[in-house]
């Protein structure tokens, strides 16, 4: 592993990409600490202390602590993720968007542009709702959070929050294009990891003050290690379908005749279903927290993390997005046609539509297994941890994102090293990352 990092520093292009990625993430972390004007930060911190462990805690987790400080990056990357979800859903509904998705790079650029517009619209809506909600919110001592809740404050807040989201979106795209890994995922990763040291310190304080038993803390540590190991095991798991290529003569050369396999990942959608499901639950619950109607407050309470209704919707959304995203990124019909074109076939299965049906049937089964795995990892640690009143950063959602993004990034670095004949991170075999 250490030799792999040493080799990475010897490749100028990879070294440049790594330094660029670290620089962009550093810029993001600096922006988290730039406050939005017109806010009493002490009253706001006291207000968030009351709602730690609720939907605000989850939103604050994805924003990397920016919401708690009400910085210029308070909305985080969630508007972009929500816009991406909406565009992908609309792609199935509107033929125009479906045609764009099949037009290659030009069509993808057009959809990306629509996603950017949608991100700004959602950021403006969320910024407006938050500014209006904060204007009538008070801290635990009765002090107002907003120093001067006039029209200029609302305009400034909406512009600031929307601009911050647009800047984060730009950072993510730059990391994806010029750095290593997926930029949006790395930004979420950086926000979660940045909160881990304070969560660990808080846990030790609980142990020292007697609020947390040492045996319970050890159980938590063992649970986290076990969950991380399970995530790595499943993320690298594959269902290999054997493929045989018939011999064919082209000119004076003979091609084919070898055996291969079609790798189907157990969790094709990776951590995307968890992020999508979290963003779907965060948006309505966050808006409901600022409404002053009793029935809305009751609904928001039931949608808070740890409540059975929240967990039920969370699991259903994870399963839905696991199947939906897998259907978007993997088309069995196209795979079957390409196999037929190059003389490939699955032993015992007729080429063409029969092969597509077989691949789809196998893919559906392993996708269901992957979706159940995501539900267990995302919900089980959170339910167990919530019973012991320890920081929310040790939840299954955070672990899924951190481990999944780390595997993806290391796999991309591995591909750079292998391409240039350097020894990678794994001495035996190649690391099968999420893009493998």
pLDDT in tens, the chain (436 residues): 555 566 666 778 888 888 999 999 999 988 888 888 888 777 777 776 665 555 555 666 666 666 777 788 888 888 888 888 788 778 877 888 888 877 777 888 888 899 999 999 999 988 888 888 777 777 666 777 777 778 888 898 899 999 999 999 999 999 988 888 888 888 888 888 887 787 778 778 878 887 777 887 787 788 788 888 888 888 888 888 888 877 666 666 665 567 788 888 888 887 788 877 877 777 666 656 555 667 666 776 777 666 778 888 889 999 998 998 888 788 888 888 888 887 788 888 888 888 899 999 999 999 999 999 998 888 876 676 665 555 445 567 778 888 888 888 888 887 777 776 655 555 554 555 444 3
Q: Where is 357: in which H helix or E strand? A: helix 353-386
Estimate to the nearest angstrom the gap between the alpha carbon of 200 and the chain centroid: 22
Q: Are 322 and 269 in contact (CB under 8 A)?
A: yes
Q: Helices (DSSP H) in 209-352: which residue ranges?
A: 214-235, 272-289, 294-302, 308-329, 332-341
Which residues have CB under 8 Å from 94's CB, separation 6+?
A: none
Q: 379 vs 49, 217, 333, 398, CA distance in Å?
A: 23, 19, 34, 11
Angstrom distance (rounded) from CA 349 to CA 210: 64
Q: Is the distance from CB of 332 to CB of 360 less than 8 angstroms?
A: yes
């Amino acid at each position: 592993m250490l030799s792999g990092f040493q080799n990475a520093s010897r490749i100028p292009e990879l070294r440049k990409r790594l330094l660029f990625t670290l620089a962009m993430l550093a810029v993001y972390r600096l922006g988290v600490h730039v406050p939005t004007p017109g806010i009493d930060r002490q009253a706001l911190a006291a207000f968030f202390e009351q709602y730690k462990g609720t939907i605000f805690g989850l939103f604050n987790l994805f924003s990397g602590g920016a919401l708690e400080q009400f910085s210029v990056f308070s909305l985080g990357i969630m508007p972009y993720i929500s816009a991406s979800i909406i565009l992908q859903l609309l792609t199935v509904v509107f033929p125009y968007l479906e045609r764009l998705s099949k037009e290659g790079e030009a069509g993808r650029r057009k959809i990306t542009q629509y996603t950017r517009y949608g991100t700004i619209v959602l950021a403006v809506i969320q910024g407006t709702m938050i500014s209006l909600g904060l204007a009538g919110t008070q801290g635990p001592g009765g002090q107002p959070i907003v120093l001067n809740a006039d029209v200029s404050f609302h305009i400034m807040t909406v512009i600031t929050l929307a601009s911050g989201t647009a800047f984060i979106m730009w950072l993510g795209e730059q990391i994806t294009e010029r750095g290593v890994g997926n930029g949006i995922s790395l930004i979420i990763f950086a926000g979660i990891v940045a909160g881990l040291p304070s969560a660990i310190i808080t846990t030790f304080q609980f142990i020292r003050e007697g609020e947390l038993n040492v045996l319970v803390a050890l159980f938590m540590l063992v649970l986290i290690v076990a969950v991380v190991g399970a995530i790595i095991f499943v993320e690298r798991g594959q269902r290999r379908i054997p493929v045989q290529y018939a011999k064919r003569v082209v000119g004076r050369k003979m091609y084919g005749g070898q055996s291969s396999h079609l790798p189907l990942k157990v969790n094709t959608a990776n951590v995307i279903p968890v992020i999508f499901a979290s963003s779907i639950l965060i948006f309505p619950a966050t808006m409901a927290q600022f409404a002053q109607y009793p029935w809305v407050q009751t609904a928001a309470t039931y949608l808070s993390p740890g409540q059975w209704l929240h967990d039920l919707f969370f699991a259903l959304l994870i399963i839905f997005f696991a199947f939906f995203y897998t259907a978007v990124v993997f088309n069995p019909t196209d795979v079957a046609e390409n196999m037929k074109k190059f003389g490939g076939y699955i032993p015992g299965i007729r080429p063409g539509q029969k092969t597509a049906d077989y691949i789809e049937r196998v893919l559906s089964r392993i996708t269901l297994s992957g979706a159940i795995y995501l539900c267990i990892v995302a919900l089980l640690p959170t339910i167990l941890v919530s019973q012991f009143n320890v920081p929310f950063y040790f939840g299954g959602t955070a672990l899924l994102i951190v481990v999944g993004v780390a595997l993806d990034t290391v796999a991309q670095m591995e591909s750079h090293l292998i391409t240039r004949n350097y020894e990678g991170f794994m001495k035996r075999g190649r690391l099968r990352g999420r893009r493998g």
